[in-house]
Amino acid sequence: MKQGGFVTQLTSIEDRIASRYSDLSAQLRRAADYVASNPIDVASRSLRAISASSGLPPATYSRLARALEFDSYEEIRELCRQAVGQRVESFSEKAAKLGQGDATTASIIQRQSEAVIANIQQLNAQLDPDRVEAAAEALGQARRVVLFGAYGSTGIVEYLAYLAHYCMTNWVLAGRMGASLGAAMVDMGPQDALLIVTKSPYARRAIAAAQMAQDQGARTIIITDNHTCPALKFADFPFIVPSESPQFFSSYTATLALLESLMAVLVSRDPQATSHRIREVEQRNGGLGEFWSG
């Protein structure tokens, strides 16, 4: 993540790890991965126990704390305690309910529903409204907004573009329908913004586009699922969104909630002008007979 400005106001242990992850040694990455994956253990167990469980010496965690710009390992524990306060209920409920599941259709539906509800609850608990507001302001002030998503994220970004085109005239969907990603990026500068959605396994083009946007001075919004995402290094506004699923795929339910909330914040900035634009679009759609009227 970029240093200075808004993104230095990191509010969670995942944020802090993500902001330094690409600069960590292999040993410190192992420690960071353990902390991010086991906040309950880190919050509640001694450093000696964490060392034994992770197979890493206690000194590694002390070095990790310094690398993450903490004064001591205790500050890591404190952020983990805060995370546990927000997430322990969802973790325990999910573990109990999924463990009792079976392979019936009803059970699969129930487990999937419970997982995505837990994702949304976790997002609501950990999301920083100030960061959402700042990201919306950057999008609203941008000369041009470029949207990009690949693989599983493609349809999600297309949906965001569909919503945006009702009320914005300067949003571009890159890399789709004959439009190359490079063509969308070539004129980007400090007045522009790039929004990327990418989840594991991360698309190489998404990471390259984030770096290119940073190099060209554009503001970057990265929405992803884990602190290890390489694109976070280039983010002005990073969002790590819960994406857990009992299935083989990542869930996008919480991601949709974030994107729809972000769009709602944008619309609320100038509801009168936005409403006028939407009415104009609806009138044109009606004139073209776009939708079934009965």
Smallest CA-to-CA distance from 251 within 230, 225, 232 is with 225
Judging by beta carbons within 10 Å of its beta carbon (0-12, 13-18, 19+), is residue 259 exposed, middle or buried?
buried
pLDDT at 27: 95
Smallest CA-to-CA distance from 246 within 122, 124, 97, 120 is with 97
Smallest CA-to-CA distance from 197 within 236, 162, 224 is with 224
pLDDT at 64: 95
pLDDT at 178: 64
61 and 51 in contact (C-beta within 8 Å)?
A: yes
CATH of span 10-91:
1.10.10.10
pLDDT at 9: 43
- Over the chain (294 residues), what is each successive 10-residue block's mean pLDDT? 40 84 94 89 84 93 93 88 56 50 76 90 90 95 95 94 90 81 92 96 93 96 91 92 84 96 91 78 82 76
- The class level of CATH for 129-285 reads alpha beta
Sketch the domain layout of the chain as residue ranges. Answer: 10-91, 129-285
pLDDT at 192: 97
pLDDT at 2: 46
Predicted model pTM: 0.74
